[in-house]
Amino acid sequence: MVTVYLIRHGETEWNLRGIHQGHMDSNLTPKGKEQANGLGNRFLESEISFDAIYSSDLGRALKTAEQICTPIGQEKLIQKDSSLRERSLGHIEGLTYQELADQMPEDYRRHVSGDPDYRPEGGESWRDFLNRSESSLKEIALRHNDEKILCVTHGGFVSMALRFCLNINLQDKRRFSIPNTAVNVFEFHAEGGWKLLTWGDISHFKNGEILDEML
């Protein structure tokens, strides 16, 4: 059995501007850094530490991992893993929804339709992404036995994890929120698969708006 803490990165500048990030990157906002540091302090106060720590190699996730791990003195354990990246959005990365609608109306229509097989040019479909997410998280979990691991990733990846854990169909509209740095805890059993223990715990947040948008 392996316990996996799955965390979305802190708020970014492009989150605030509604720009599709995908495999492109933007800096954490001061609030995003505060969210990550607050989570690290929460782990410290709760005496939570990890046997292994993985982070997407994209800067916003890696910076979040560093901010989380510094208070608990485990920043040297961070391993970069590109399989934890956000969904690749290909040629629509760097665009807002309005820019996408104006410049590529057919791509916009298919993008917002929720079609699980729509693949932006140079990117991944939701189905591609689900398969990658499930495969990579299982591969990471299988490296460990009776251990607690931390994975810092992205909103889309966390969403896929909940879907494959609870068997939520890709075509079902998302009815759950994924706040930045919320604590999501899964348990993996080699024989029995995934079990959800905790979802969306933001008890480390100070007062302020929760930004849920997955971009």
Instruction: Go through the domains of the chain in sequence order and give each one's CATH number.
Output: 2-201 (3.40.50.1240)
Give the 3-state secondary structure of residue 121: coil
- Catalytic pick among 9, 23, 111, 204: 9
pTM, two decimals, is: 0.94
* Number of other residues whose CB lies within 10 A of the CB of residue 18: 14
Task: Give dist(CA 151, CA 7) in Å, integer.
Answer: 6
Give the 3-state secondary structure of residue 55: strand
C-beta separation of 36 from 64 below 8 A: yes
* Number of other residues whose CB lies within 10 A of the CB of residue 107: 18
Residues 6+ apart with CB under 8 A from 103: 95
- Catalytic pick among 11, 34, 86, 124: 86
pLDDT of residue 114: 86
pLDDT per residue over 147-192, tens digit each?
999 999 999 999 999 999 999 999 888 888 999 999 999 999 988 8
pLDDT higher than threshold 70 for residue 212 = no
pLDDT per residue over 92-138, tens digit each?
999 999 999 999 999 999 999 889 999 999 999 999 999 999 999 99
- Mark whether 86 is an active-site residue: yes
- Mark whether 144 is an active-site residue: no
